[in-house]
Amino acid sequence: MDVYARFGLTGRRAIYGHGIHLSEREWRAIASSGTAIAHCPTSNLFLGSGLFRWDRAKKAGRPVEVGLATDVGGGTTLSFLRTMGEAYKVAQLAGTSMPAAHAFWLATQGGARALDLEGRVGNLAPGCEADLVVLDLASTPLVAQRMRHANDVDEALFVQMTLGDDRAIRQTWIAGRKAWDRDEAGKAVRRR
């Protein structure tokens, strides 16, 4: 971190991938500069490079902004559902738990904050840009069966992030306009 800081490469909008081998001094330097970390669990697991400690990133007194990232260059998927599931597993392996709501937060608001775009993207607040994905909460027989036993929204989110994949994407909306619809795409394929 000293080298990056010396050359002015830290601060807001500076995002560094992985954050798996940081000392407490480095965590403090990242926090005090406003630098963010991109948590890339599929890459870290695929490469066997280490486990991200999101509990250390959010340590009281010096929290670091963290966003979830797919890092397909070293990882295995572009699916944020799969990536959230892997983030959960990484947290478990590191001796802590990651609630599903927090994983979804890392993939949305956490990413917006890491990019210094909070207030523009990452949530459904009035005035924010509306890029959305509509999920099919019963996208596969296994997901549908498990969702029948979900008792609350936290459990429903957990099912989606641990069992869901790209088949769960029903629609994609960009800037408030529908850009893709699974049912419409399926009809077009069947017409061919």
C-alpha to C-alpha distance for 101 and 20, rounded to whole angstroms: 22
**pLDDT computed for residue 192 by the predictor:** 67
For 29-56, the pLDDT digits (tens) are 999 999 999 999 999 999 999 999 989 9
The domains located in the chain, with CATH, are 1-125 (3.20.20.140), 130-192 (no CATH)
Q: What is the pLDDT of residue 150?
A: 98
Q: What is the pLDDT of residue 187?
A: 80
Mean pLDDT of all residues in 125-151: 95
Residues facing residue 68 across a β-bridge: 39
pLDDT class of 107 with cuts at 50, 70, 90: very high
Asked if the model's pLDDT at residue 188 lies above 80, the reply is: no
